[in-house]
A and B are shown apart, each in its own frame.
Chain A
Amino acid sequence: MSDFKLTEWIFTTDHKRVGILYLIGSLAAFGVAGCAAVYIRLNQLSPSGGLFSDPQNYNIALYFHGAAMILAFLIPGLTGFFANYLVPLMIGARDVAFPRINAFSVWLFFAAIVLALISLMVSDGPDVMWTGYPPYSVTTVGNTAFYVFTVHLLGFSSILGAVNFLVTILYMRAKGMGFNQMNIFVWTVLGAFVLQLIFIPVLASAVTMLLFDKYLGTHFFDPTGGGDVLLYQNLFWFYSHPAVYVILLPAMGVLFEVISTMAKNRVFNYKACVYGGVFGLILLSGEVWVHHLYVAGMPNWLRTGQMVTTLLISVPVGLMVISLWGTLYRAAITYNVAMHYACACLFLLLVGGLTGIPLAMTVLDLHLGETAFIHAHFHFVMALFATFSIFSGIYFWFPKMTGRVADSKPALIGFWLNFVGVTMTFTPLFIIGMQGMPRRYATYEQFPQFEPYHQMATLGAMVVVVGMLLTFYSWINGAIRGPKAAENHWRSKSLEWTHAPSPPGPGNFPGQDPEVAKEWTPYDYAR
Chain B
Amino acid sequence: MPSLRRLMAVAVPMAMAAAPAMANGGTPHSQWDHLWGHVLLDLVVIGVVFGLGALWMMFRYRAKSPDDVGTGPKLTKAQAIGWALLPAAIFMADDFFLAAKGWSLFTVYRSAPADAMEIKVTGYQWYWEFDYGNGVVTQELKVPVGKPVVLRMTSPDVIHSFGLAEYRVKEDLMPGRVSWLWFVADKPGKTVATCTMYCGLAHSKMYSDVVAVPASEFHAWMESKVRQARATTDSSRG
Residues of A with Cβ closer than 8 Å to B?
A: 55-56, 59, 127, 129, 133, 135-136, 139-140, 222-224, 227-230, 263-266, 268-269, 271-272, 276, 295-297, 300, 303-304, 307-308, 311-312, 314-315, 318-319, 321-322, 325-335, 343, 346-347, 350-351, 354-355, 357-358, 361-364, 366-367, 369-371, 435-436, 438-447, 525-527
Shortest CB-to-CB span from B119 to chain A, Å, is 17
Closest to A334 in B: B63
- Rounded to whole Å, the gap between the CB of A196 and the closest CB of chain B is 27
Question: Could you jot down 7 A-B contacts, CB within 8 Å?
Answer: A228-B176, A229-B174, A264-B63, A272-B83, A363-B102, A370-B170, A443-B204
Other-chain contact of A263, B61, B84, B205 (Cβ < 8 Å):
B61
CA of A295 to CA of B204, assembled, Å = 18
B57 within 8 A of A: yes
State whether A435 touches B165 (Cβ < 8 A): yes
* Cβ-defined contact, A266 with B70, below 8 A: yes
Q: Which 8 A-B pairs have the closest CB atoms?
A: A223-B176, A436-B165, A265-B70, A332-B68, A297-B179, A361-B102, A272-B84, A441-B204
- A-side contacts of B196, CB under 8 Å: 295, 369-371, 438-439
Distance, CA A271 to CA B73, complexed state (A) = 14
B127: interface (CB < 8 Å): no
**B158, A136: Cβ atoms closer than 8 Å:** yes
| A446 partner, pick from B168, B175, B194, beta carbons under 8 A | B194
Cβ–Cβ < 8 Å partners of A223 in chain B:
175-177
Q: Quick check: which of B18-26, B103-111, B211-219 contacts chain A, the rest being far away?
A: B103-111
Question: Cβ of A308: which chain B residues have Cβ within 8 Å of it?
Answer: 95-96, 99
- When the two chains form their complex, are residues B36 and A296 in contact, meaning their CB atoms are under 8 A apart? no
- Contact A139 B158, beta carbon cutoff 8 Å: yes
- Complex alpha-carbon distance, A442 and B157, angstroms: 21
**Contact across chains for B42 and A318 when beta carbons are under 8 A apart:** no
Give B56-72 as 1s and 0s: 1 = Cβ < 8 Å from A's Cβ atoms: 01100111101011111
A140 adjacent to B200 (CB under 8 Å): yes
In the complex, A55 Cα to B192 Cα: how many Å? 21
Chain B interface category by residue count:
35 or more
Interface residue B229 (Cβ < 8 Å from any Cβ of A): no
Taken together as a complex, chains A and B put the C-alpha atoms of A445 and B192 apart, in Å, by: 11
Give the complex CA separation of A461 and B108 in angstroms. Answer: 41
Q: Does B221 contact A (CB under 8 A)?
A: no
Please state if B61 and A438 are interface contacts (CB–CB under 8 Å). no
| Among candidates A315, A325, A332, A351, residue contacting B53 with C-beta atoms closer than 8 Å | A325
Known: A265-B70, A269-B83, A311-B99. A364 touches B36 (CB 8 A): yes
Of the listed stretches B6-14, B44-52, B137-145, B230-238, name the one at the interface; the rest are far from the partner chain. Answer: B44-52
B159 within 8 A of A: yes
> B169 on the interface (CB 8 Å rule)?
yes
Contact status A136-B98, CB under 8 Å: no
Q: Are A325 and B57 in contact (CB under 8 A)?
A: yes
- A contact residues around B54 at 8 Å (CB): 325, 328, 343, 346-347, 350
Known: A318-B87, A346-B54. A363 touches B72 (CB 8 A): no
B88 contacts partner chain A, Cβ-Cβ < 8 Å: yes
List the B side residues contacting A447 at CB < 8 Å. Answer: 192
Q: CA A393 – CA B188 in complex, angstroms? A: 56
Task: Judge whether A343 and B58 touch: CB under 8 Å.
Answer: yes
A439 to B155, CA, bound (A): 20
Asked, given contacts A343-B58, A347-B54, A438-B163, whether A263 binds B70 with beta carbons under 8 Å apart, the answer is: yes
